[in-house]
Structure 1
């Protein structure tokens, strides 16, 4: 139930534990007795969240405004880079969709007017949150030129604007729902989000009915934002036919297919291609299917488009590797679903050799093309490592399957040796993912930075972490570490996908789960 009176003066931990605080300074005695460091107290000028009933708002406007202390004008919420290079301070969001500014500083950062010399506001200023949805989204994707260029070039009331409303509202709601919104307000928010989603999908659908629709960069960007919105609400690991994330990812493929190779010969076209194609490849890894048939043609066109962007050569090499892994895993799952022992024993040597050859080919490329230590390169390598984990996990399933087939021409000793090789390769890659993630979210965990732009960094490591957490080929401590990182991202950044990563059952034969001679542990 929302607060209707003065905010509690208790410290943050006491309010969270719902116990009485003694208000001692600088640290309360309850926290000391609890064995925890007192996190301190909130600003007493924080606004009280109220119901969105018009009569309540009307009464609130008639009340005598409370004076504000000078310190309130100096404080702000989380800060990050805005699209114009300044700083954007996210104001408070009330359940009725208003952004509330409690100081002149907040008002300055929201409307761009230089009011630093003004006295503190004597009453809150209400402004609907949609006027800030694009700045919030641009803060999240401040490191991605593709999205910044889209919102610079397309300023009309089109799908990009509605996608920004959908994404930003979801992001803010995810961060605040657990402590700031009542159930009724949350339900109202979900209805509001449904309206934004419907409006965005309708505009995209109408655009794609036109001959030039698939060629529009804003349509490609909108569908890509929708896939990231689905990560915020947590639908990546759902693989049913109508799963929204998978539908949007397949939509990205359809648009890339319709666009052809023409845009890939331009710098702008490749900038738009890579975020979309990366999502398409992740969808293939998740769904155990092959990458699009046009992948070779697309990547070959990029290789001919010299000079390549910094790091683009690495992207091409990793994309080729993922293509080969997806081909191998799709063939293996086809054999397992059919429970075809003879065909599996016949195709196994080729499949195992293809997996090892693809890995060796990439390692040879790295020797000739040293990789830097930039965050984007760390993310790219983690995607490569996730494909290793997934590929060798599926290979292990095939090896387990064949150990139960006595006529198999491959000696049992060889199968066990190949299984050990697969496990070692997968666990080494998993460790690489876990060691790389702190470089991405390290500033958040150290308290140095907590801004919207970290959401994008976190979104990019969600799939590699899920891969480690879900794949039973990884060591138990690795899966536990991945789970901890995922839940940390979910709590701190409001990415619901990180809180919704439980393993799902795969439709495979029982023989594929455990090799001959080992006892099942229920995995």
Structure 2
């Protein structure tokens, strides 16, 4: 007798393929690899479930079970065919179609290619509630893309980003092949453009590299790899192109916009890898001051102040890593803490609202000079808090290092303990401020209001770094860490930005977040 075993609780796909289902929640791993939605698992305890014992003799020929068309179906098909012939009787080229069943005539499926460009254009717009959409630093993107050839690096990079984003949102395997192919072609076209002097300084070349770095964020880093190495490589390429473009890039509005876009990515990578800012950055911001635009009055000072925070963070990290004379640790620690406090005060004075914590905690109804904060102002606050959180992290490790190696006296030990308590308090306060922006910047589906602006790719890319810092901080409260990790999972699995749940650089030396 055939041993049929016990009935399987597996999903439809695994039972059809006759393989063991891992019963993972919410869907099995095999369906995930195949890119198919998992149908769920059978409950064998249901009273209405009938499990049949099937043997080779249980299957009948297909002709026995095929449903024969009824007279009503035949007459309906005949009338449909006559009507179709009457509608097309003046078409000389349709005689072949008349002989076929009209139910077999189907419209060809529309290609994803027609939707990729409009999708990526809409996803890179900055959104402002109550007004029309604007691009911000990407205002030149539509103009450059319209002028680009279909075989250019910019055009291919845009397709790669669009297909990768669609693949993550829809989980269709065909789109995976499309974005990988477009990415490879974009790299080849970019290599040719970089090695040609006439295209090396083009705006489209710089924008292409930035789009490829965005592609790496969308693709994410698997757990088996250490950090977004390709993203870091594209960031170094952005810095090299800014040096090559020199002062000439600041002579046009388009060049200034692309500089802000590229330098934002460079700065975040420097924070993540504990590297100092480019030595030319001070001169770049001086050249940028010649432009009297909203971006020059807000974004340029923001990035300049964050560079100062980056220098303080790098100084603290270097002191821990290189382990110089223990006699200088306490004196250098005091200098770093004082520099950090001075930076906070100067940022508060410039931007016109409280930067120092915990005297002021930001909520969704916080006002800036009598007006509710807009999306862009919330992102600005998050960038400030993220920069300072990175400094607190390295200062915290410097405080631990001072206790261990500096052999402090009782009074010096009390001073270090007081600084450590202040550091933890400030870290948790800034983490609360970042998390307070999530209801506006990343609203949950079931809690979205009718007037809520749809979150897009541009919003998520600005939000990943601040939330990632909160989730990885060793001193935040467990509740804060849980909220941040939940937000990152939503960014990855709901919004399609997989780097939110991917790995970052190894923590053995650099101690990154």
With structure 1 as the length reference, what TM-score do the two structures score? 0.68
What is the CA-CA distance between 1:346 and the residue it aligns to?
Answer: 4.0
What is the CA-CA distance between 1:215 and the residue it aligns to?
Answer: 2.0
Alpha-carbon contact 2:442-2:455 (below 8 Å) kept: no
User: Where does residue 40 of structure 2 map in the other structure?
Assistant: 18
Alpha-carbon contact 1:342-1:408 (below 8 Å) kept: no
1:150 has 2:144 as partner: yes
Q: Which runs of 5+ in 1 are unaligned?
A: 5-12, 22-29, 31-66, 68-119, 514-522
Greater mean deviation of Cα atoms: 469-478 or 343-352? 343-352
> How far apart in 2 are the matches of 1:330 and 1:387?
12
Query: What pairs up with 1:64-143 in 2 under 5 angstroms?
Result: 123-143=106-126
Alpha-carbon contact 2:313-2:391 (below 8 Å) kept: yes
| Deviation sequence 1:157-188 (CA, Å, 0-9, x none) | 201121122111111111222xxx4xxxx4x6
SS of equivalent to 1:473: coil
1:207 has 2:193 as partner: yes
User: Where does residue 263 of structure 2 map in the other structure?
Assistant: 277
Cα gap change, 1:451/1:158 in structure 2, threshold over 3 Å: closer, same or farther? farther
Cα gap change, 1:491/1:377 in structure 2, threshold over 3 Å: closer, same or farther? same
User: Where does residue 396 of structure 2 map in the other structure?
Assistant: 396
Cα gap change, 1:121/1:317 in structure 2, threshold over 3 Å: closer, same or farther? farther
User: Where does residue 358 of structure 1 map in the other structure?
Assistant: 343
> How far apart in 1 are the matches of 2:228 and 2:218?
18
Cα gap change, 1:127/1:140 in structure 2, threshold over 3 Å: closer, same or farther? same
| Deviation sequence 1:24-43 (CA, Å, 0-9, x none) | xxxxxx9xxxxxxxxxxxxx
User: Where does residue 433 of structure 1 map in the other structure?
Assistant: 434
What is the CA-CA distance between 1:379 and the residue it aligns to?
Answer: 1.0
SS of equivalent to 1:321: helix
User: Where does residue 130 of structure 2 map in the other structure?
Assistant: none
Alpha-carbon contact 2:220-2:228 (below 8 Å) kept: no
User: Where does residue 109 of structure 1 map in the other structure?
Assistant: none
SS of equivalent to 1:128: coil
- For residue 291 of structure 1, the aligned residue among 242, 253, 277 is 277
Alpha-carbon contact 1:175-1:493 (below 8 Å) kept: yes
> How far apart in 1 are the matches of 2:449 and 2:149?
34
Alpha-carbon contact 1:237-1:286 (below 8 Å) kept: no
Cα gap change, 1:359/1:235 in structure 2, threshold over 3 Å: closer, same or farther? farther
User: Where does residue 155 of structure 2 map in the other structure?
Assistant: 161
SS of equivalent to 2:373: coil
- For residue 305 of structure 2, the aligned residue among 304, 321, 332 is 321
> How far apart in 2 are the matches of 1:261 and 1:239?
38
Greater mean deviation of Cα atoms: 475-484 or 129-138? 129-138
Alpha-carbon contact 1:141-1:147 (below 8 Å) kept: no
Greater mean deviation of Cα atoms: 288-297 or 137-146? 137-146
Select the structure with the greater relative contact order (CA < 8 A; seq sep ≥ 6).
Answer: 2
Alpha-carbon contact 2:226-2:503 (below 8 Å) kept: no
With structure 2 as the length reference, what TM-score do the two structures score? 0.69
SS of equivalent to 2:109: strand
> How far apart in 1 are the matches of 2:104 and 2:376?
42
| Deviation sequence 1:242-285 (CA, Å, 0-9, x none) | 81000011111111111122222422221221111111111111
Greater mean deviation of Cα atoms: 345-354 or 159-168? 345-354
Structure 1 vs Structure 2 CA RMSD: 3.5
> How far apart in 1 are the matches of 2:15 and 2:248?
57
1:460 has 2:473 as partner: no
What is the CA-CA distance between 1:20 and the residue it aligns to?
Answer: 6.6
User: Where does residue 19 of structure 2 map in the other structure?
Assistant: none
Cα gap change, 1:453/1:430 in structure 2, threshold over 3 Å: closer, same or farther? closer
1:367 has 2:352 as partner: yes
1:243 has 2:229 as partner: yes
Alpha-carbon contact 2:216-2:228 (below 8 Å) kept: no
> How far apart in 1 are the matches of 2:480 and 2:504?
15
Greater mean deviation of Cα atoms: 445-454 or 211-220? 445-454
User: Where does residue 175 of structure 1 map in the other structure?
Assistant: 169
Cα gap change, 1:499/1:242 in structure 2, threshold over 3 Å: closer, same or farther? closer
What is the CA-CA distance between 1:330 and the residue it aligns to?
Answer: 1.6
Q: Determine which structure has more spread, i.e. the larger CA radius of gyration.
A: 2
What is the CA-CA distance between 1:447 and the residue it aligns to?
Answer: 4.7
User: Where does residue 330 of structure 1 map in the other structure?
Assistant: 314
What is the CA-CA distance between 1:196 and the residue it aligns to?
Answer: 2.0
> How far apart in 2 are the matches of 1:19 and 1:348?
59
Matched residue count: 397
> How far apart in 1 are the matches of 2:225 and 2:319?
19
> How far apart in 1 are the matches of 2:251 and 2:222?
31
Cα gap change, 1:343/1:281 in structure 2, threshold over 3 Å: closer, same or farther? same
| Deviation sequence 1:88-109 (CA, Å, 0-9, x none) | xxxxxxxxxxxxxxxxxxxxxx
User: Where does residue 384 of structure 2 map in the other structure?
Assistant: 384
Alpha-carbon contact 2:163-2:178 (below 8 Å) kept: no
Cα gap change, 1:272/1:302 in structure 2, threshold over 3 Å: closer, same or farther? same
> How far apart in 2 are the matches of 1:205 and 1:452?
36
Greater mean deviation of Cα atoms: 249-258 or 366-375? 366-375
- For residue 212 of structure 2, the aligned residue among 226, 229, 253 is 226
Q: Which runs of 5+ in 2 are unaligned?
A: 1-12, 17-25, 28-36, 47-76, 78-102, 127-134, 354-367
| Deviation sequence 1:112-155 (CA, Å, 0-9, x none) | xxxxxxxx996242243233321221121133223223213324
Alpha-carbon contact 2:228-2:505 (below 8 Å) kept: no
User: Where does residue 484 of structure 1 map in the other structure?
Assistant: 486
What is the CA-CA distance between 1:420 and the residue it aligns to?
Answer: 1.6
